[in-house]
């Protein structure tokens, strides 16, 4: 049986941080922390280690969500543990090498006085397009008495808006009971966990969604917001032991599979009665980008919706020309009320009273903007040099740019330069109100292997103001969306303490508001799940549809019928009658839905939803849509998303390739790759990243399985160290093959 070796780094979904290889050259008395995964009974192994390795301290045992032990000792003594047969893998939890800290303007106010912090908060509160977490709570509930476990980077429990609600926690990085965020002398400082905690349960100047919920914080991610999946597993287990009522995991990786170890642990936690809310990922807008553990079948996975925004754009009156702006990350708001002349910053040096136009090139965005600011510019436009727009940034950690900086399209940049060559050009700033929609960065589903629809729900995830160490800051990401949902679950648990997880999930999904395109069409299920969360409606719902997302899986036969049984719960004291709309006709697809049916008061009824597909008559690939269920008593309608795969789809066939030096080893490397389809073999070829010339084949593997595959190689087998473009080719059982590229550094 293959041994499981966990090497994928778990990262916060707000920002990805490159992690250096750990340096294990320490003094003998330097105490380190590790978590080991074991075969058999952890308690028996604990006794064995305490008897035969007295110089190793067993800090904790884990057996609810995975089998393992947390140990502390010197590097030299811990290395002796590697030969024990019952150890499946050793996972270092030592602090990573310090990395430079990049602050984002003075909004990240870690060194501000209390008075300045208050002033910063008030300024943020007045700023347009920013969202306060409390705005989502339209109920009378506050989450009072509900224990919320936050698995993240720790928490600034001394923050005045978090201190009262913080109850307890644990540090799975240093293995102690102090889950404070990473500070500068430990490595790259973090603030992510504090931001997440504030969205859920801040209770001061800033109010969270559930301001009276109790905070239990678990530091599973260390400097720079990184850690191993086993740290996350151990944190989840500690949260279960501490009796939390709901968990929030605003973290993940890029493996789009349902059986990744953290996903399995999530399912186990839910089976133990604890709702687990997970950020869906920030790898959108492409399909198949949701990553583990949001891929877990029983996870409540959350995508990010945008807030209603007043979006600035430029307007040139003479030509009746609108010009779209894309504000750079780190820019101050673009909020002009008068027109300005525009000037080519490559031709003029005096920019006073003007908007500077520069072309994107080799010079960093920050340097372009800073130079224009020093020349007196009112604002900076950076014209793109390629057709597709990007999300640029002027955040560097250096002295911030104090004027607005935005990117415009290549086409608009060329138009401006043409006009400027012939006449003086003035630009007005106009504003357009944009309704909420899906955030472009929000990861899309479905999940490979079992084809589940993810995300389950949407919540606000853009421009969210919350607590950070020493102050407040607006951030965006599905990391910010997930804690909104966690806060709502705390409200529901206060309102309905007897509800099961199925009822909680079902109530939120049933009452969600599906989002529409500009043309009035529903966004795809794999984009939004059930839609935007509605707290008050979920608490007061008359109907709960259990497991409302209908994934019929893959169609592989010529003529195939699939049935899903859905439970409809009537929460009222009156009988309710329901009826499905007749679905739109599609060649090769026949629906068999229940006719009008009645669910008695306070009862639940199971109804079958059946679809028959004649495969050759239906286009191959991913099919999705919506079924409408109406209530005759109240004229309320519910949208049920469905999905099936006909024969094949464009899903990635392999992902998550990792290659790294084995912990506490100087001559063995470990590798892993996740497969979503049956494969005959994989091959990893190395190329020079500059010339793209073939260098060598690193490995070939034939004994493969759907899911995680791992193995080891000796240092003598891998060849020269260096940086390579690794081409991973998967040869599938149907005779086709697929390749993808990753950058690989061999130390």
Phi, psi angle pair for 182, to nearest 5°: -60, 130
**Fold for the domain defined by 542-646:** Immunoglobulin-like (2.60.40)
Beta strands in 298-456 (DSSP E): 300-305, 309-316, 321-324, 326-327, 340-344, 355-359, 379-383, 405-408, 426-434
Domain range annotation of the chain? 23-92, 112-297+440-507, 309-434, 542-646, 654-746
**Residue 712, pLDDT score:** 86
**Residue 90, pLDDT score:** 67
Q: Is residue 210 packed enough to be buried (19+ CB in 10 Å), middle (13-18) or exposed (0-12)?
A: buried
Low-confidence ranges of the chain (pLDDT < 70): 1-30, 89-117, 259-261, 663-665
3-class SS of residue 743: strand
For residue 270 the two structure tokens come to 């839910």
Phi, psi angle pair for 430, to nearest 5°: -115, 170
**Domain over 23-92 is classified CATH 3.10.129.10:** no
Q: Please tell me if the domain spanning 309-434 has the same topology as the one spanning 542-646.
A: no
Alpha carbons 483 and 496: distance in angstroms, whole number: 19
Domain range 309-434, its CATH number among 3.30.1490.20, 3.20.20.70, 3.10.580.10, 3.50.30.30: 3.50.30.30
Residues 6+ positions from 16 with CB-CB distance below 8 Å: none
Tell me which CATH code domain 112-297+440-507 carries: 3.40.50.200
**Residue 116, pLDDT score:** 66
> Over the Cα atoms of the chain, what is R_g?
27
The pTM for the full model equals 0.82
Percent of the chain residues topping a pLDDT of 70: 91
3-class SS of residue 358: strand
Write out pLDDT tens, residues 326-362: 888 788 888 898 999 999 988 888 999 999 999 999 8
**Residue 112, pLDDT score:** 55
Write out pLDDT tens, residues 629-687: 999 878 899 999 999 999 988 888 888 788 877 766 677 888 888 888 888 999 999 98
What distances in angstroms separate CA 370 from CA 329, 358, 378, 379, 400, one per listed residue? 14, 12, 12, 10, 8
**Fold for the domain defined by 654-746:** Immunoglobulin-like (2.60.40)
């Amino acid at each position: 049986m293959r041994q499981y070796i966990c090497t994928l780094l778990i990262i916060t979904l707000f920002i990805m941080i490159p992690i250096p290889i750990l340096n294990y050259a320490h003094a003998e008395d330097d105490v380190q922390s590790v978590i080991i995964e074991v075969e058999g009974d952890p308690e028996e192994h604990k006794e064995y280690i305490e008897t035969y390795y007295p110089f190793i301290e067993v800090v904790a045992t884990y057996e609810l969500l995975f089998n393992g032990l947390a140990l502390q000792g010197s590097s030299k003594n811990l290395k002796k543990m590697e030969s024990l047969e019952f150890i499946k893998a050793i996972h270092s939890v030592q602090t990573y090498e310090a990395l430079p800290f990049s602050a984002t303007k003075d909004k990240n106010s870690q060194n501000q006085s209390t008075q300045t912090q208050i002033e910063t908060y008030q300024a943020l509160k007045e700023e347009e397009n920013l969202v306060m977490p409390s705005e989502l709570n339209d109920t009378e509930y506050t989450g009072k008495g509900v224990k919320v476990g936050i698995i993240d980077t720790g928490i600034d429990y001394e923050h005045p808006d978090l201190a009262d609600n913080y109850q307890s926690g644990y540090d799975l990085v240093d293995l102690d009971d102090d889950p404070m965020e990473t500070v500068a002398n430990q490595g790259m400082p973090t603030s992510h966990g504090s931001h997440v905690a504030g969205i859920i349960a801040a209770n001061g100047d800033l109010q969270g969604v559930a301001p009276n919920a109790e905070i239990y914080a678990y530091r599973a991610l260390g400097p720079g917001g990184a850690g191993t999946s086993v740290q996350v597993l151990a944190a989840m287990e500690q949260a279960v032991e501490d009796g939390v009522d709901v968990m929030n995991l605003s973290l993940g990786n890029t493996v789009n599979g349902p059986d990744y170890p953290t996903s399995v642990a999530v399912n186990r936690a839910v089976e133990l009665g604890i709702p687990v809310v997970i950020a869906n990922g920030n790898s959108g807008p492409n399909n198949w980008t949701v990553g583990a553990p949001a891929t877990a079948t029983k996870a409540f996975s959350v995508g990010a919706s945008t807030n209603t925004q007043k979006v600035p754009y430029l307007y040139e009156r003479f030509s009746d020309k609108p010009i779209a702006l894309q504000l750079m990350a780190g820019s101050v708001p673009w909020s002009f009320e008068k027109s300005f002349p525009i000037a080519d910053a490559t031709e003029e040096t005096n920019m006073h009273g003007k908007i500077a136009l520069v072309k994107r090139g080799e010079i960093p965005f920050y340097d372009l903007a800073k130079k224009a600011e020093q020349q007196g510019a009112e604002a900076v436009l950076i014209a793109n040099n390629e057709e597709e727009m990007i999300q640029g940034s002027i955040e560097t950690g250096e002295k911030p740019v104090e004027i607005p900086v935005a990117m415009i399209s290549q086409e608009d940049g060329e138009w401006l330069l043409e006009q400027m060559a012939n006449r003086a050009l003035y630009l007005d700033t106009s504003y357009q109100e944009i309704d909420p929609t899906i955030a472009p960065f929000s990861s899309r589903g479905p999940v490979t292997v079992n084809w589940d629809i993810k995300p389950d729900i949407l919540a606000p995830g853009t421009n969210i103001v919350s607590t950070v160490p020493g102050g407040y800051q607006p951030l965006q990401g599905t990391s910010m969306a997930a804690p909104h949902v966690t806060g709502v679950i705390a409200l529901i648990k206060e309102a309905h303490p007897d509800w099961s997880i199925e009822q909680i999930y079902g109530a939120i999904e049933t009452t969600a508001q599906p989002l529409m395109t500009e043309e009035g069409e529903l966004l795809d299920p794999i984009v939004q799940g059930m839609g935007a969360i509605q707290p008050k409606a979920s608490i007061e719902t008359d109907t709960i549809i259990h497991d409302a997302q209908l994934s019929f899986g893959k169609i592989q036969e010529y003529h195939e019928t699939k049935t899903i049984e859905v439970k409809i719960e009537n929460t009222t004291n009156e009988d309710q009658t329901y009826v499905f709309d007749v679905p739109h006709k599609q060649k090769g697809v026949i629906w068999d839905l229940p006719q009008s049916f009645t669910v008695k008061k306070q009862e639940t009824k199971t109804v079958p939803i059946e679809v028959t597909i004649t495969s050759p008559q239906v286009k191959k690939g991913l099919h999705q849509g919506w079924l409408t269920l109406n209530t005759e008593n109240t004229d309320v309608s519910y949208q049920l998303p469905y999905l099936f795969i006909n024969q094949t789809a464009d899903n990635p066939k392999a992902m998550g390739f990792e290659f790294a030096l084995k912990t506490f080893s100087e001559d063995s490397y470990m590798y892993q790759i996740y497969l979503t389809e049956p494969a005959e073999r994989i091959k990893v070829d190395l190329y020079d990243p500059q010339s793209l010339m073939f260098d060598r084949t690193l490995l070939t593997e034939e004994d493969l399985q759907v899911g995680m595959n791992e193995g080891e190689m000796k240092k003598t087998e891998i060849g020269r160290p260096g940086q390579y473009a690794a081409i991973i080719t998967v040869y599938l059982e149907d005779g086709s093959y697929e390749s993808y590229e990753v950058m690989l550094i061999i130390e």
